Amino acid sequence: MRGWLSLVAIALMLALGWSAWPIAPRWNPWAPLDVEEAPNWLTRYKLLRLRGDPQVCRAALATSKLQYRPQANSPPGDRCPLLDVVRVTGGPVRLSSGFLASCPLAVAFAMFERHGLQPAAQATFGMPVTGVEHLGSFACRNVYNRSQGRLSQHASANALDIAAIRLADGRRISVVQGWAGGGKEAQFLRQVRDAACQSFSTVLGPDYNAAHRDHFHVDMGGWAVCR
């Protein structure tokens, strides 16, 4: 059901002729997403729109406060071509290392950090997140490293594996250690997973299968899954 209500509402706006009215950018479905603006019922639609419009995606990325460098496109014929990819090197939180990201993935990560991760940390621990540790983004491989089958979202730098979060007091909360435990860390990690589902298309964690026991896989592919 995610995204359908927004699409229905947009269709109603068009039917009523609202597109001719002057609308603030955050309420205009054709305006680029502004990462700093609080999410609303159009946010899901605007995130989906990034996948099909590189110019709109670049405009949204410019509002993200991420530090990034555009990368050259892969040569024609590459098994895992990289197109319109950036290298994210930093931003409001420290990264364990820079990572390659499709433009939609980079924007979704910024949305997740600003409107999901930080509010969850403040609500649970009363302090901000200062760092995110990840296991990488780009890997030219099939799903689950199988010899046959479809390419993983990692093969186009359209996915990221998040392993741990660092708080302002230096505490490190890892998925592998905190998910199955009790108390605030487990509560926080579940809030993080749920918040990620608001920004990314697919979110897979320890409840999905053993292959994800130590991280949250997030991507901007065509499947809407929150597990």
Residue 174 to residue 125: CA distance in whole angstroms:
15
Question: Quick check: pTM over 0.85?
Answer: yes
Q: Which residues pair with 102 in a beta bridge?
A: 85
DSSP code, position 87:
E
What lies within 8 Å, CB to CB, of 116 at 6+ separation is 192, 195, 196, 198, 199
Residue 122 structural domain: 65-226
In a domain, 18, yes or no: no
pLDDT for res 112: 98
Residue carrying the six token digits 């589902």: 197
CATH number, domain of 108, equals 3.30.1380
- Within a domain: 187: yes
What is d(CA 123, CA 81) in angstroms, rounded to the nearest whole number? 40
* Continuous H helices in 16-117: 43-49, 54-61, 103-112
- The highest-confidence range among 6-15, 50-59, 97-106, by mean pLDDT, is 97-106
Predicted local distance difference test score (pLDDT) of residue 142: 93
* Range of weakest confidence among 9-18, 59-68, 81-90: 9-18
The domain tally of the chain equals 1
Tracing tokens 């890997």 back to the chain, one arrives at 139
Inside any domain, residue 20: no
